[in-house]
Amino acid sequence: MISYFKKQIQEIEASPGMRWFGAFLSLTHLWCFLLWNRKDYFVSSLSPSNSQPLCFPFFIDCDLARVFSPSILTIFLYFYAFLGLLAFFLFISKETSTKAAYWAFAAAVVYKNVFYLSNYNFMGNYHYMANISYLAFLFLPHKKWTIKYLIVGFYFAAGALKINIEWLSAAAMIAPPYIGGNLLMVSLIYVIYLELVLVFFLLCSNKWLRWSTLFQFIAFHIFSWHIVGFFYPMVMFSLLSIFLIDEYLSWKGEIQIEDRLPRFFSGKEYKSIYIVLVIFTLMQTLPFVFASDPSKSGAIRLSSLNMFDANTRCKELFVLHRKGQVVHLRRANEVTGVRIQCDPILFTNYLHQLCRENKQDPDFEKLSFSLVSRRATEADYEPILFIENACAQKNIQWAEFSRWGRF
Amino acid sequence: MDKKVALGLVLFSLILAPLIYLANPHFLYIRDQYYEIIPHPPKAPATLFKKVDSSCESNTQFRVNAERVGYQKDAKPRAAVEIKKHIFPLNVGIHSASKSSPVADDSGIYVGSDTGWFWKMDFDGNKVWEFYIPGSGNGIHGSPAVDDKKVFIGAYNGFLYALDKMSGELLWANPVADFIGASPLVADGGVFISGETAHPDGLVARLDCNTGQTQWVSKWLGGHSHSSPAFHKETGSILVGANSGRLFSFDVKDGSTHWQKQFRGQIKGTPTILGKRMYFGSWDKNYHAVDIATGDVLWSTFLGGRTQTSLTLVPGHNIGITNTRRGDIAGLNLENGEFLWRLHHGDSNHQFSVLVTASKDDPRQWLAFSRCKSYQLCVLDAVTGKLLHNINLPGGFTSVPYAHGERVYISLIDNHGLVILE
């Protein structure tokens, strides 16, 4: 085990530019700190006073672990920033060892994910991509090319998710863009081409193709800032730095960037890269195994990217049956991200909490739930979930994968 | 770059092009958060908890029946009613729209409130069961409809519900729209409701009375619809107005549009139907009579202010009664719209409609119950407009009184509850 970690550290040490990349990757923790620190997002989400906490399904009682006061949570958050900055400075400093930087970075990753995994409302593509990149950097061989291929894979998967009317009609926009009309239409199509076709130029030897593609991605993320906010573009800049670092090293004559695609398509690439990409591809396709339209059902979002898909609309029905009384409840906490607003996990969380609260009530009879959803551009709602007696079911958080959870 | 790889990328681009074309974008602007790409209002499936087959014929509903006539022949209160009972708070003043009017059949009284509570009571006002929608925004403003086994009610969360009349059990729920402020209509074996969407627009839907499944949804109304639909059997039409100023006639079976007409003001009141005509008030300050078959305007009478009341008919007489913004209760000649009589009370609130009933005191007389001054109920001779009686109530009301037997039930606003008069 120890030798395994030694090998990872040695690879980072030996591979030109990887310490710099480690530094840029460490900055994602700083961006995450800034995101979570905005408007007390982190503190209010994890505070015990949050009346409707959201938990990942594998830790459905996460609210029971929320025992820290806002001031303690604030300290935790600032400590996270400290870890990220520590890793950053350890990577860029020539006096410090790669080993120290590696372990500081690993500590920041683990620390971040303890909090990330305790609140489903934190869920987002930017964390998904960052976590995969962290794993590749920390544990996988041939890190540089694995990460480069993964980034191409991120864009490709994102582009594939955009071939739908919600993206192409701008219905999936969570905020109005600066441009409109025909220019917007052309831009939306262009983004698909950028992510599905031009992205491969990031792996070719022709520097003009590489630079122009990199420039286009950077410009795309800068433009997207006014729609998605600062965090997403900053994470992507940190990830894209792996290409920029190699461009710099190539310009200095320290490395030569070869054409990888012929190697890849002829099967001569590193075996570990093929395995990683196969696993990544399977993760993106997993939602479609469970639902014909995962954008509507929100099925198994944990495993895959969810890029601007559907902007789903849904109607939920929580019915509490008590003696002589029927109550149609509604989730009071409306502060959820657009991408999880119709996620079944959101509702099964609430079911779980309601069942817990009403267990001791002698007048409580049962709790029923149904969910119907549609894409923003669809005319009709589709039934997604129906649970007649939620409190009689075990593991309600996995309802969408169970026979009894289906209409 | 390797030529094979470059060729592969070009071929891939060519495959991509038709995929993008097939995704067929045809709208490209964003209006607030709502995006007008869907050609007709969304259709939602109902959640069926328990199937109970009922007659789907109305025992009673808002404005008494599907034609929304507003008179009750079987109820016979006296003119000189007094407060018999004043029971628990109903409406706390959420939202300015007219409140849920009580309805009753032989099983009891049904009424909603703007807090989201819906109750069944016995005729003495004792609670039998309750249904609560705490997250419904403005609560319940529409009035219920009742058949032999079920009661139907919509709420401001956009759901239409069917409850078991006797037990209060929830039978089905359909998320018809984003908001429902209107009252359901039970007619032609189905349930009809006007709904509102957030962007804002409106729709009318027909639901299966026993399963709650949506059978059809109309085209967009162009604005919210506070108006409850009415039914004309002869032409098989569902008639409704909208805040867009449009008046619609939809086919009762499939929701296709027979005709639509544009008026200058919002149409918030529920149309009243008699014979081949319908009558409705508008924010264009007029009351209109329209031919149901064609939508042609037969007459318009200037009321002096915006109106959203529903005309109440007087059986056997060609009279329709309404309140006006000038502070009058007025009787109109249904033939030509001329004023037959006016009683001036000075309250310019234009939201409340009138109840007409038979009279216990005189079998030839028809009584009209109307709010006059803000906390006052006036009882008039419906034919002559003569004031017979008035009584101060604990609070004001914007709903329509409902009579059962010799009693009159009124839901009050601003936390003043339900009064039972006899």
Residues of B in contact with A52 (CB under 8 A): none
Cα B88 to Cα B117, B218, B411: the distances in Å are 12, 39, 10
Answer whether A253 touches B (CB < 8 Å). Answer: no
**Interface test with chain B among A200, A327, A347, by most B beta carbons within 10 Å:** A327
Identify the DSSP state of B36.
T
pTM of the model: 0.85
- Whole-Å CA distances, B343 to A146, B70, B376, B388, B408: 86, 19, 14, 12, 22
DSSP string, A336-381: --GGGTT-HHHHHHHHHHHHHHHTT-TTEEEEEEEEEEE-TT-SB-
Distance between CA atoms of residues A112 and A32, nearest Å: 9
Q: In Å, how far is B198's CA from the nearest CA of chain A?
A: 12
Q: Which of B30, B128, B130 to mutate to test the interface with A (most CBs of A within 10 A)?
A: B30
Would an 8 Å CB–CB cutoff place A328 in contact with chain B?
yes
276-295 of A, contacting B, C-beta below 8 A: none
Sign of CA dihedral A207, A209, A215, A217: negative
d(CA B272, CA B263): 17
> Does pLDDT of B34 surpass 50?
no
- The CA distance from B391 to B376, in Å, is 6
Query: How would you classify the pairing of strands A325-329 and B127-132?
Result: parallel
Q: What pLDDT was estimated at residue B28?
A: 44
Nearest to A165 among B13, B24, B135 (CB): B24
Question: Nearest by CB to B9, which of A200, A313, A377?
Answer: A200
Number of C-beta neighbours around residue A162 at 10 A: 22
Q: Are B290 and B278 in contact (CB under 8 A)?
A: yes
Which DSSP category does B166 fall into? Answer: T
Confidence of residue B346 (pLDDT cuts 50, 70, 90): confident
CB pairs under 8 A between A and B: 162
Beta carbons of B28 and A185 less than 8 Å apart: yes
Give the DSSP H/E element, type plus range, for residue B163: strand B160-164
Q: How far is A103 from chain B (nearest CA, A)?
A: 39
The CATH code belonging to domain B43-421 is: 2.130.10.10
Mean pLDDT, chain B, integer: 89
Q: Which of B2, B38, B163 sits opposite A259 (nearest CB)?
A: B2
Structure-model confidence comparison of residues B341 and B14, the more confident one: B341
Cα separations (Å) of B87 from A12, B233, B366, B410? 78, 39, 28, 11
DSSP B252-276: TTT--EEEEEE-SS---SPPEEETT
Say whether pLDDT at B19 is over 90: no
pLDDT in tens, B232-249: 999 999 999 999 999 999
Return the beta strands (E) in B324-372 as ranges: 328-333, 339-344, 355-358, 366-371
> For residue B135, what is the nearest residue in chain A, using CA coordinates?
A330
What is the per-residue pLDDT for A407?
A: 44
Q: Which two tokens stand for residue A330?
A: 């509604």
- Report the residue of B34, B35, B140, B174 to disrupt the A interface, i.e. the one with the largest count of A CBs within 10 Å: B35
Looking at the predicted complex, does its ipTM rise above 0.85?
Answer: no
| Cβ pair A180:B25 closer than 8 A | no
Selection from A333, A280, A328 nearest residue A303 by Cα = A280
Chain B contact for A188 (CB, 8 A cutoff): yes
A-chain residues near B198 (CB < 8 A)? none
pLDDT digits (tens, 9 = 90+) for B143-192: 999 999 999 999 999 999 999 999 999 999 999 998 999 999 999 999 99
DSSP letters along A91-155, please?
HH-SSS-HHHHHHHHHHHHHHHHHHHTT-GGG--HHHHHHHHHHHHHHH-SSHHHHHHHHHHHHH
Closest-CA distance of chain A to residue B212, Å: 14
Answer yes or no: do B49 and A324 touch at CB < 8 A: no
Residue B297, CA distances (Å) to A142, A248, B85, B300 in order: 81, 79, 45, 7
Residue B308 in tokens:
């959203």
pLDDT in tens, B38-93: 667 888 899 999 999 999 999 999 999 999 999 999 999 999 999 999 887 766 66
Distance between CA atoms of residues B193 and B215, nearest Å: 12
Q: Which helix (H) or strand (E) holds B313?
A: strand B312-314
Name the percent of chain B lying above pLDDT 90. 72
Instruction: Suggest the residue from B5, B51, B197, B213 to mutate for an interface test with chain A (most A CBs closer than 10 A).
Output: B5
Below-70 pLDDT ranges, chain A? 291-292, 294-300, 307-310, 332-338, 401-407
Element (H, E) at B320: strand B319-323
Instruction: Find out whether B158 and B178 touch, Cβ atoms under 8 Å.
Output: yes
Asked if A180 is an interface residue toward chain B (Cβ–Cβ < 8 A), one would say yes
Residue of A nearest to B19 (CA): A163
With H, G, I as helix, E, B as strand and everything else as coil, classify residue B195.
strand
The average pLDDT across B319-326 equals 92
DSSP state of B179: B
**In chain A, which residues have their Cβ closer than 8 Å to the Cβ of B132?**
325-328
Q: State which residue of chain B sits closest to A379, comparing Cα positions.
A: B42
pLDDT greater at residue B19 or residue B263? B263
- Specify the pLDDT at position A404: 52
Residues of chain A neighbouring B39 (CB-CB closer than 8 A):
379
Query: Within the 350-369 window of chain A, which residues sit less than 8 Å (CB to CB) from chain B?
Result: 368
Query: Contact B28/A184, CB-based, under 8 Å?
Result: yes
Cα separation, B113 vs B416, in Å, equals 11
Single-letter code of the amino acid located at A44 = S
Separation in Å, CA of A303 to nearest CA in chain B: 25
Q: Do A328 and B168 touch (CB under 8 A)?
A: no
> So what's the pLDDT on residue B33?
41
Check if A386 contacts B (Cβ < 8 Å): yes
User: From CA B57, how far away is CA A399, in angstroms rounded?
Assistant: 38
